[in-house]
């Protein structure tokens, strides 16, 4: 899967590509109407036996952000969710919190005020919304079950000098820790503290 942007004048590719892993030949392409910033394969939400696709993107003028789900076999748009920010760069699959047996998804907006959303992977319905500060969210990574509630939690990359872990079912910060500069990249590691 590849997310492509724009050329600055509205004539760029602005689409998601599904490419054959062996040959690189395009299997399908889905125009987005604006630049794509993130793409991720997610668990099948349509019941067709094929993994589906989660996308973070924007409109052509980069003033409205979207989270979109695509059918993994065809590229057809399954649903679209609008965020207040100019685009969506941060997307991640989370556990099933809607109770429908399908792992759900989370997304964070870019230039929207630090909004994080939990969305039903099957239909795009909002499951939670939290604000983590006036910042741009760049990425969401999964981490183990820090909260001990049976669900993995989230670590955001963002433009604020604080590292944090978010509850994977609500998006609420479990802890924050100041760092010397903006947390543009984060990653989880194995347990080195022994807890």
Question: Mind listing the pLDDT tens digit for each residue in 113-132?
Answer: 899 999 999 999 999 999 99
The answer for residues whose C-beta is within 8 angstroms of residue 59's C-beta and 6 or more apart is 33, 34, 66
Question: Mind listing the pLDDT tens digit for each residue in 64-111?
Answer: 999 999 999 999 999 999 998 899 999 999 999 999 999 999 999 998
- Are residues 112 and 90 in contact, defined by beta-carbon separation less than 8 angstroms? no
At residue 20, what are phi and psi to the nearest 5 degrees? -65, 125
d(CA 33, CA 43): 25
pTM for this model (two decimals): 0.94
> What's the pLDDT band for 147 if we cut at 50, 70, 90?
confident
């Amino acid at each position: 899967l590849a997310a492509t942007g724009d050329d600055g004048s509205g004539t760029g590719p602005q689409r998601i590509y599904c490419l054959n892993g062996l040959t690189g030949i395009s299997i399908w392409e889905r125009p987005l109407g604006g630049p794509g910033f993130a793409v991720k394969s997610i668990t099948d939400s349509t019941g067709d036996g094929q993994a589906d696709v989660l996308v973070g993107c924007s409109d052509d003028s980069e003033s409205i952000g979207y989270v979109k789900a695509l059918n993994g076999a065809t590229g057809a748009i399954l649903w679209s969710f609008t965020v207040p920010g100019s685009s969506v760069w941060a997307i991640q699959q989370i556990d099933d919190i809607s109770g429908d047996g399908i792992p759900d998804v989370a997304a964070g907006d870019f230039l929207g005020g630090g909004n994080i959303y939990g969305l039903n992977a099957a239909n795009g319905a909002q499951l939670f919304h939290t604000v983590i500060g006036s910042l741009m969210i760049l990425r969401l990574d999964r981490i183990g079950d820090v909260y001990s509630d049976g669900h993995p939690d989230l670590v955001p990359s963002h433009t604020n000098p604080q590292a944090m872990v978010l509850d994977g079912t609500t998006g609420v910060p479990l802890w924050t820790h100041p760092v010397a500069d903006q947390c543009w990249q984060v990653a989880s590691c194995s347990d080195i503290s022994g807890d």
